[in-house]
Amino acid sequence: MRIIDSILLGLMQGLCEFLPVSSSGHLLLSRLLLGIQTDTPAMKMLDILLHVGTLIPVLVVFRKEWIDMILHPFRNRTLLKLFVASVPTLLIYVLAKKLFPAVDGFAVFDNGWFLGASFLITAVFLLVCDFRGRSSACRKETPGFGAAAVMGLFQGIGMTPGISRSGSTITGGVLSGVKKDGAARFSFMMSAPAIVGSLLMEGKDALEEGHLSEIQLLPTLIGILVACIAGFLAIRFMLRMISRVPMAWFALYLALIGILYLFMQLRGSPLLPAFALPVPAAG
C-alpha cells in the first residue's frame, strides 16, 4: 500500500469516526475506489489499527472523566454505564457469528455489497435523531443505565460498514430521552471499549494466523498518526457543534452518496461489487 493511500485512509477514519457518517463505510468506499482489495485479513487488521489511532483523542479529550471514573468507580457510574452499553454490542457480535458462521459474522459485509443501503439507513437514523431531538422529552443531560443499554444496541447495529457507530448511538441516546450533546459525549466514550475489544479479539486471531506480517509498517504508522490528528479535530468539532448543526445535513450527504453508490452498483460498475449476499467458496 502506498503512503498516500494510508494518509487518505487515516483521514477517512479520523474524521468519520466522530462525524456521524461511518468511518468503516468510508474506509471501505475509499479502498474500493482506490482498487485496494477490501476483504483480506490484512485489511481488517489495518482497519482495527486505524481505529486505535482514533482511540487516542478519546482518551485525551475525556482525560478528566477517565481519571475520575478510575479513581472513584463507585461514585462515578460512567464506567459501569460503559460496561452496560458494551453488553448488547457484544451479544450482537456473537449472534452475527452464529448466524453467518461461514463468513465470520459481520465480515459478510466486508466486500461492500451492502454499503449503499447502509449509508441510507444511517441517513434515516440521523433524520429520526433530529425529529426526536426537538421533542421536550429529551431532557436528560447524561444517559442512565437504560439509555446506555439502548445505545449499546445501536452500537451493535453500527458494526455494519456504512452504518455510523456515532450516528446510530447518538440516535439511540436521543430516542431514550437524552439531549444530543449528552448522548454525543457518551457515544464518543463508548468507542474506547469497542475499539479495545475489537483489538483484543481480532488482534488475537491476526497473531495466531500470522496476518500481522502482511501489514506494512511505515504506511500503517503514518495512517494511525493521521487518524489520531483528524480524530482529535473531529471530536472537538462535534462536541462544539452537535447542538447547533442539524443532523439532516449529514443525512443529506449520506443519502446522496448512498443513492449514487446503489445506482453505480446496479448499473454494474466494475469498481463495486454486485448487490448480493456473498456466497463462500466451497471447501
The per-residue pLDDT for 211 is 62
- Rounded Cα gap, residues 251 and 247, in angstroms: 6
Determine the pLDDT at residue 162. 94
173-202 mean pLDDT = 90
When pLDDT is averaged across residues 100-121 and rounded to a whole number, the result is 84
- Which residues on neighbouring strands pair with residue 178, listed in sequence order? 140
Indicate the range of 48-57, 129-138, 207-216 predicted with least confidence: 207-216
Cell, residue 107: 465480515
Q: Report, as an integer, the average pLDDT of 217-240.
A: 93
In sequence order, the β-bridge partners of residue 140 are 178
Question: What's residue 201's pLDDT?
Answer: 75
Q: What pTM did the predictor assign?
A: 0.90
d(CA 128, CA 150): 15
CA dist 16 and 164 (Å) reads 8
Q: pLDDT-derived band of residue 283, with 50, 70 and 90 as boundaries?
A: very low
Residue 281 has pLDDT above 60, yes or no: no
Tell me the range of 51-60, 96-105, 132-141, 195-204 where mean pLDDT is highest: 51-60
**E strands of 64-199, at which residues?**
none
Judge whether residue 38 has pLDDT over 80: no
Q: What is the mean pLDDT of the chain?
A: 88
